Amino acid sequence: MKQDFKPLLAKVEHAYHIIGKKWVNLIIHVLMEGPKRFSELHAIIPDLSKRMLNERLKELEECGLLNRVVIPDRPVKTEYSLTEKGQELGAALCHVEVWAMKWL
């Protein structure tokens, strides 16, 4: 019996589209350590511009990979953390990190 792989391939292609964007993997890697504020993320990944960091965070939130929580202190703080979906992706990307350490 021939199986239709189109739905599977479409999902795999969409996943690679998300993780293939520059900086996404590093942002997820940093957030695997726990919630971070915008300024903390920028300090940890200084080559990433604030504009691009903001853009990537919005994209990851839209994909359901991270949560954005506004803390109504003075001054107002925004904290980012991975969702369960983001944590699972981060765990999968850890295998890529192991491969990179071994082969690159």
Whole-prediction pTM value? 0.88
Class of the domain covering 6-103: mainly alpha
Give yes or no for residue 1 having a pLDDT over 50. Answer: no
The token pair at 45 is 């990944």
Residue 43 pLDDT:
97
Residue 2 pLDDT:
56
Answer yes or no: are the C-beta atoms of 59 and 21 closer than 8 Å: yes
Q: How confident is the model at residue 73 (pLDDT cuts 50, 70, 90)?
A: confident
